[in-house]
Structure 1
Amino acid sequence: MEVSELTKREQFVLTSIIEKFVVSATPVGSKFIESGCNGAISSATIRNVMSDLEERGFVKQPHTSAGRMPTDKGYRFYVDSLMAVQPLSLQEKNTIYNTILTVSRDVGDVLEAATQTLARISSQLGLILAPRFYDGIFEKIELIPITYKKILVVLSIETGFVKTITLEIDKEISRKRLEDTARIINERLSGLSLKEIKKTIDKRLDGILGRENNFIDFVINSSSKIFSELSPFDLHLGGTANIMSLPEFSDQQSVVRIMELIDDKEILIHLINDENNVDLIPENNIRITIGEENKKDLVSHCSLITTTYEIGNISGTIGIIGPTRMHYSRLVALVDYMAKVLTDVFTMNKE
């Protein structure tokens, strides 16, 4: 939508309705808008403008005597043409940076801390999708004994991304055998993509002398887990209590819908990875969908703000889900900054 679609006066009234409604969650009347412009526009004129905006689908009136509230179309015009992004405070930036910087190098720990911070500051549902691990270039593997029948696998890719998993084994394996196995794997596989390794690992590790003594067969048989592709468990989610406390989710039907959404990680992954979402700030790769722009019925009453963060040649997705009545100007800045911090932190890990 072009900003010229509305007159300056109509833009002012629509902005006033949206910014007040986002805070109050109650329909906005003409008297409030009149007070906001110090009487420069009469209440009667404002009512006429509101009526025109309603006829054109930008606002709606829940009942005859009520004020107006934004529609999906009104929010879309606002974020595309009227909104000024509200920068985060220095304190908020420091909180985000220090929280993420002080956790371990493991990507899962970093993303979990970032998700909880995102949810806490936004007061919405925060989501972070781990990078597509398959696209990374293998650097090295470490096999570390934990207990009699458990080993820790530490997998590093060239971007500095570290993935750790625990494997069960049938019998105790000496540290030397584990180190020898890791050395052989690193010599044979370093520099290959994880996707290629998973497809060809048996052939690439074939012909190793004394293979039965080097724990190689176990690694090959466990390769689907070690070099695993994206799964629902790579989605980090936080802030369920935030969503449930909002007035939009106070009735039973809304509660059921949002709980179904939260429980279905496959749908959430599809939603925040949907490249058909509308570009809000293309130069920053910020995307936003509002209400019924979302293809899934479970989120037809919600908005999503998403962007990507980078770890070398691979990327993940970060986002916020909440009601259409959300503080877009502030949350766009939050999602954008969180993505930049994650990119910075993983770049430092690489170095």
Structure 2
Amino acid sequence: MTLDERKKLILGSIIKDYVETAEPVGSRAVVKKHDLKFSAATVRNEMADLEEMGYLEQPHTSAGRIPSEMGFRYYVDWMMEKEHLDEKEAETLQRILQSGSQEWNELAQHISSFLAQVTNYTSFVIVPAVRLSDFRYLQLVPVDQNKALVLVVTDPGMIMHRKIEVPEDINAEELDQIGRVFTQMLGGKKPGEIKRSTLSQLRDSLRQRRKLIDRILESIDNLLDNSTSERVVVSGALNILNEPEFKDIEKIRRVLAILDEADRLRHILPDSTGDEVDIRIGKENLADDIKEMSLVFSGYKTFGEMGKIGVIGPVRMEYWKAAGSVESVCDIVEDTIKKK
């Protein structure tokens, strides 16, 4: 049902006030705060109409109204203007993605933490299962005394690393030489094509460092195994405690259980997700444990696969900020990946 401009103005004002205060909103407060050009009596009549239409609800203990889930849905679909990341926030995320470790799983943790910070909601990043293509190169980088980083790069530009112990008497030049031998023998091969005979040749080529080679091979094996499975990263889980709707211990327990179990969070989202922001409000969610919450998420493309980035919070959510932030983050992440 289409609302006239006056009803839209009043509904939007009530939603903004309720999201800010978590308290029912009265007609006089709406007129005063938003400097409306009509009387409190007129606003009261319009609020009664909006309640009858299903867009507002009146708690039994209050003369004010709160938005219903239907009211939030109308606002999201027909009235909302997204608030994207501002220039400073966008630059901060770009710096995070372009500096430090370039392993994708670690970047996902940084993205999730950033999104939780700018929205003040719990955020999640689902890293899709990536089908690895050709082995590109391996590098051994000394990082601490008796430790080095095994850095593996595969097409399509996926970078993985793992720290290993190295003998005291080995130097950076020798580590670099060992890395070149690995790259020469494994370069251009798919993970499934790296046969035992090739690994035996590597051991023979580097016989004097047999123990170190075994550690490197074990690291490669673990990295390739771990890189091909879907992974869920959650940040800001305790942000939910800041919301007055979740002061009930049982509610908190159920919500934190969902956030603590990657499989449960993964399964409350649809299998297929496009690159448009999707908003699921309260009872629109299929999982019972999340029907008092809302999800705002979008798909993003990484190395030819589709992952998901989003936030989870109360129905009383700043949808305009959440949707705009998720959309901005997805765009910046995709642009970063394309440049790799």
TM-score, normalised to structure 1, is 0.79
Give secondary structure in 2 for the equivalent of 1:5: coil
Taking the aligned partners of 1:325 and 1:179, their CA distance within structure 2 comes to: 56
Letter aligned with residue 134 of structure 2 = F
Amino acid at match of 2:265: L
Q: Is residue 18 of structure 2 the alignment partner of residue 21 of structure 1? A: yes
Residue number in structure 2 paired with 1:301 = 292
Matched, 1:60 2:57: yes
The one-character-per-residue Cα deviations of 1:190-234 (angstroms, maximum 9, x if unpaired) are: xxxxxxx4xx54xx6366595574779x959975762346557x2
Q: CA 1:230 to 1:159, structure 2 compared with 1: closer, same or farther past 3 Å?
A: closer
* Residue 235 of structure 1 pairs with residue 232 of structure 2: yes
Which digits, 9 at most, give the CA deviation of each residue in 1:264-295, with x for residues without a partner? Answer: 1111123345437xxxxx7x521111111111
Q: Cα–Cα, structure 1 residues 46 and 103, in superposed 2: closer, same or farther, change >3 Å?
A: same
Cα distance in 1 between the residues matched to 2:228 and 2:280 = 24
Residue 326 of structure 2 is aligned to residue 335 of structure 1:
yes
Taking the TM superposition and a 5 Å limit, the aligned residue runs for 1:206-217 are: 211=201, 213=204
Partner of 1:226: 224
- Tell me how far apart the structure 2 counterparts of residues 28 and 208 of structure 1 sit (CA, whole Å): 72
Counterpart of 1:184 in structure 2 is 185
Query: Could you tell me how far apart the structure 2 residues matched to 1:149 and 1:213 are?
Result: 23
In structure 2, stretches of 5+ residues that fail to align are 206-212
Partner in structure 1 of residue 336 of structure 2: 345
* Count of matched residue positions in the alignment of Structure 1 and Structure 2: 325
Distance 1:260 1:297 in 2: 13
d(CA) in 1 for partners of 2:126, 2:199: 41
1:156 lines up with 2:153 in the alignment = yes
Looking at structure 2, the residues matched to 179 and 99 of structure 1 have their Cα atoms a distance apart, in angstroms, of 30
The separation in 2 between residues aligned to 1:34 and 1:145, in whole angstroms, is: 65
| Residue segments in structure 1 that go unaligned for 5+ positions in a row | 190-196, 277-281
2:107 alignment partner in structure 1: 110
**SS of match in other structure, 1:337:** helix
2:268 aligned counterpart, secondary structure: helix
Q: Could you tell me the percent identity over the aligned residues? A: 27
Distance in 2 separating the partners of 1:209 and 1:38: 75
Whether contact under 8 Å (1:141, 1:153) holds in the other structure is no
| Deviations 1:50-80, CA, capped at 9 Å, x for gaps | 2222223222111153311112111111111
Structure 2 residue aligned with 1:316: 307
Could you give the per-residue CA deviations for residues 131-179 of structure 1, whole angstroms, max 9, x where no partner exists? 3222x4334252749899998553323332212245799xxx9967775
Structure 2 distance, partners of 1:96, 1:178, is 32
Q: 1:45, 1:323 → 2: CA distance?
A: 30
* Helix, strand or coil at the partner of 1:133: coil
Q: Where in structure 2 are the equivalents of 1:88-103 lying within 5 Å?
A: 88-103=85-100
Alignment equivalent of 1:47, drawn from 44, 50, 61 = 44
Q: 2: distance between equivalents of 1:272 and 1:320? A: 12
* 1:8 partner amino acid: E
Structure 1 residue 37: Cα displacement: 5.6
One-letter amino acid of the counterpart of residue 289, structure 2: L
Deviates more, 1:85-94 or 1:295-304: 85-94
- Structure 2 residue matching 1:321: 3-state secondary structure: strand
Query: 1:6, 1:308 → 2: CA distance?
Result: 31
Q: After TM superposition, give the deviation of residue 262 of structure 1 in Å.
A: 1.5
Residue of structure 2 equivalent to 1:205: 195
Does residue 140 of structure 1 match 2:130?
no
Say which SS state the counterpart of residue 187 (structure 2) adopts.
helix
Which residue identity is paired with 1:164?
Answer: H
1:289 aligns with 2:284: no
Any idea what SS the aligned residue of 2:38 has? coil
The DSSP-based 3-state class of the residue aligned with 1:289 is strand
Contact 2:162 2:219 in 1 (8 A): no
TM-score by structure 2 length? 0.81
Paired with 2:155 and 2:199, the residues of 1 have a C-alpha distance of: 28
Q: Does residue 245 of the first structure (1) align with residue 242 of the second (2)?
A: yes
State the Cα RMSD in Å.
3.4
C-alpha distance in structure 2 between counterparts of 1:151 and 1:62, whole Å: 62
Contact 2:112 2:234 in 1 (8 A): yes
